[in-house]
Structure 1
Amino acid sequence: MKISARNQIQGTVVAVTPGAVNGTIKVDIGGGTMITSSITEEAIADLGLAVGDGVTVFIKASDVLIGK
C-alpha cells in the first residue's frame, strides 16, 4: 500500500477503548511515548484492532499544534 503521509511510526496497541460511535486506540511507539487516536468503531472492527497488535501510525495534518 502506498500512502502520501510521510510521518509513519511503528508501534504496538496497548489499549482499545470503545465508545458509542468512536473509540480510542493507544499505541506505544517506544521510549515511554504513547500516541492516542480516535477512530470510528467501524474502523476498529474492520482492522480487527486488539491489544498487542503491531500497527503503523500515520500522521497527516494540515495543522499541528504545540503548547508549553
Structure 2
Amino acid sequence: MEISARNSFKGTVKKVLHGSVNTEIILELAPGIELVSIITKSSAEKLGLSEGKQAYAVIKSSDVIVAID
C-alpha cells in the first residue's frame, strides 16, 4: 500500500459501534492509547472491520487540529 498521507498508525480494532449510517471504530495503537474514527457503515462492512482485526488509521495533515492547554 502506498499513500500520499504522511501519518499512518497501525493498531488493533478495539470496538466497532454500528449506527444506521455511520460506524464508530476505536483503534488501540498501544496499551492505553486509542484513536477513534467515524466512517460510513458501508465502508466498515467492506473492510470487514471487527474487534481484534489489525487496521491502519491514516491521517491527512489538513484534517488534524492542534491545541495547547
Alignment TM-score, normalising by the size of structure 2? 0.89
Identity of aligned residues (%): 40
- In the alignment, does 2:9 pair up with 1:9? yes
1:37-64 per-position Cα deviation (integer Å, ceiling 9, x unaligned) = 0000000000000000011110114142
Question: Which structure shows the higher helix fraction?
Answer: 2
Shift >4 Å, 4+ stretches? none
Q: CA deviation at 1:67?
A: 4.6
Gaps of 5+ in 1: none
Aligned positions, number: 68
The aligned residue for residue 53 of structure 2 is: 53
Q: CA deviation at 1:31?
A: 3.7
d(CA) in 2 for partners of 1:56, 1:5:
12
CA RMSD of aligned residues (A): 1.2
Gaps of 5+ in 2: none
Alignment TM-score, normalising by the size of structure 1? 0.90
The aligned residue for residue 64 of structure 2 is: 64
1:4-63 per-position Cα deviation (integer Å, ceiling 9, x unaligned) = 011011100000000111110000000411000000000000000000001111011414
Aligned residues of 2:7 and 2:61 also touching (Cα < 8 A): no
